[in-house]
Amino acid sequence: MAGPNRTVVTDFLLVGFPSHRDLSLLLFSLALPVVLLGLAGNLGLAVLIRAERSLHTPMYYFLSHLALLDLCSCCAVGPVMLWGLLASWAALPGPACALQMFLFATAGDAECCLLAAMAYDRYAAVCRPLHYQATVPPRLCRGLVLGSYAAGAASAAVHSGLAFRLPFCRSRALDRFFCDIPPVLELACADTSLNQALLLAICGAIQSVTLLAIRASYGLILGAVGRAGLRRAAPTCGSHLAAVAVLYGTLIFIYLRPEGSYAAQADKMAAAFYTVVIPTLNPAIYSLHNADVKGALARRLLGGRHLWGGLRKGLEEG
The CA distance from 276 to 38, in Å, is 7
- Would you place residue 315 in the very low, low, confident or very high pLDDT band (cuts 50, 70, 90)? very low
Of the chain, the percentage scoring pLDDT greater than 90 comes to 42
- Would you place residue 205 in the very low, low, confident or very high pLDDT band (cuts 50, 70, 90)? very high
C-alpha distances in angstroms, 69 versus 52, 57, 106, 110, 120?
20, 19, 8, 8, 19
What is the 3 state secondary structure string of 261-304? HCCHHHHHHHHHHHHHHHHHHHHHHHHCCCHHHHHHHHHHHHHH
User: Is the predicted pLDDT of residue 89 greater than 60, yes or no?
Assistant: yes
- Would you place residue 194 in the very low, low, confident or very high pLDDT band (cuts 50, 70, 90)? very high
Lowest mean pLDDT among 20-29, 61-70, 174-183, 244-253: 244-253
Higher pLDDT, 7 or 17: 17
C-alpha distances in angstroms, 246 versus 154, 173, 183, 190, 242?
24, 30, 23, 35, 6
pTM metric for this prediction: 0.85
Q: For residue 83, what pLDDT is reported?
A: 92
The per-residue pLDDT for range 270-307, each reduced to its tens digit, is 778 888 888 998 888 887 777 888 888 888 777 655 44
The per-residue pLDDT for range 256-268, each reduced to its tens digit, is 666 555 566 677 7
Q: What is the mean pLDDT of residues 138-156?
A: 96
Q: What is the mean pLDDT of residues 184-209?
A: 91
Q: For residue 257, what pLDDT is reported?
A: 64
Lowest mean pLDDT among 24-38, 210-224, 292-306: 292-306
Q: For residue 260, what pLDDT is reported?
A: 56
Q: For residue 303, what pLDDT is reported?
A: 65
User: Is the predicted pLDDT of residue 4 greater than 50, yes or no?
Assistant: no
What's the chain's average pLDDT? 84
Higher pLDDT, 133 or 212: 212
Higher pLDDT, 156 or 271: 156
The CA distance from 114 to 65, in Å, is 8
Question: Which segment, 96-100, 173-177, 223-227, 272-276, is predicted with the most confidence on average?
Answer: 96-100
**Bridge-partner residues for 92, per DSSP?**
12
* Burial class of residue 242 in the structure, from the number of CB atoms within 10 Å of its CB (0-12 exposed, 13-18 middle, 19+ buried): middle
The per-residue pLDDT for range 113-140, each reduced to its tens digit, is 999 999 999 899 888 888 888 899 999 9
**Bridge-partner residues for 316, per DSSP?**
none
